Amino acid sequence: MKGKDWIMNTKRVVVKIGSSSLTDAHGQLDAEKLEDHVAAIARLASSGYQIVLVSSGAIAAGYSGLGYPARPVTIAGKQAAAAVGQVMLLNHYARAFHKYGITIAQLLLARQDFERREQMSHAYSALSELLKRSVIPIINENDSVSLEELTFGDNDMLSALVSGLIHADFLAILTDVNGLYDKNPNEYDDAIRYHYLDQLPDHLLNETSAASGSKVGTGGMKSKLCAARTALSLGVRTFIGTGKGTDKLVAIIKGEGDGTYIGSRELKPSLKVSKQWIALHSPVSGKIEIDDGAVQALMEKGKVYCPPACGKSRVIFMPEK
């Protein structure tokens, strides 16, 4: 696959920045690193791209101000640090983007915002309007009230779901590791990096350690691969890797990034928001059994068949709890 294949039709981009890419050796927010990312995003925006930023770092920004000597380990400590740090993090971003004349917005999302169809639709409408007006939305999990983020993967899956929600063309997951290897490069000198993968094979997910990752974030490489697989299912090509300097995102979009590209040109278009909700978020409250002919029609044509149209069907509805 050539780099130019990654430029085609790429206009809406989600950039995910993990805690490890925003913090110093002590796990505290590094303003210089943040400003480096902002410069790269501003450079990409000046080239006509619509960008949504999914940023971790609230806990890292807030824990020292609460008197913690190190990143808190208790849930209550993390929630308190996130509550303080989210304000500080956004202030850093606001000052940095102001230098480039860019207006930002903040959205704090939780799992239930995707599970509730109406809220998911409202999130889509808000993001679409912001992008239309050249605003860069900055999204984070609502850490202070959401337990799931603290073990969910440092916003990796959130970035994949957001990329599908806004029908993005590309998801760039920035981390401190320069891509995906066939084995741990820290342990094996002969480890080989994957530059391009059309799909994400099961064996790579199975062989990747869930714990592999940084000490300051909650995500490892496995959570990033799971996020990439979700993004692919939503029609969004994905990059996992690193980079430095103002032109790093431009280089990534051109296929010249320091990392791994996942997804082919033949990816199916992004699902409609309503179908995303059905496929990934809607709670299961019953089951429908259909015959082989209906299965084939659903797989090939995407048509929804009513039970009476299916030769052998059985519908069971479970009462809500």
Instruction: Name the binding residues.
Output: 16, 56, 143, 155, 175-176, 218-224
Q: Is 50 exposed, middle or buried (0-12, 13-18, 19+ CB in 10 A)?
A: buried
Residues 67 and 64: their CA atoms lie apart, in Å, by 5
Buried b (16+ CB within 10 A) or exposed e, 226-243: bbbbbbbbbbbbbbbbbb
Reference 15, options 100, 139, 133; nearest CA is 139
Per the annotation, binding residues for ATP are 16, 175-176, 218-224
Cβ contact 139:162 at 8 Å: yes
Look at the chain and count its residues: 321
- Residue 192 amino acid letter: I
Annotated binding residues for substrate, written as ranges, equal 56, 143, 155
Separation between Cα atoms, residue 204 and residue 182, nearest integer Å: 8
Sign of the torsion formed by the C-alpha atoms of 63, 69, 70 and 76:
negative
**28: amino acid identity, one letter:** Q
**Helix-helix angle 31-46:75-98, to 10 degrees:** 50
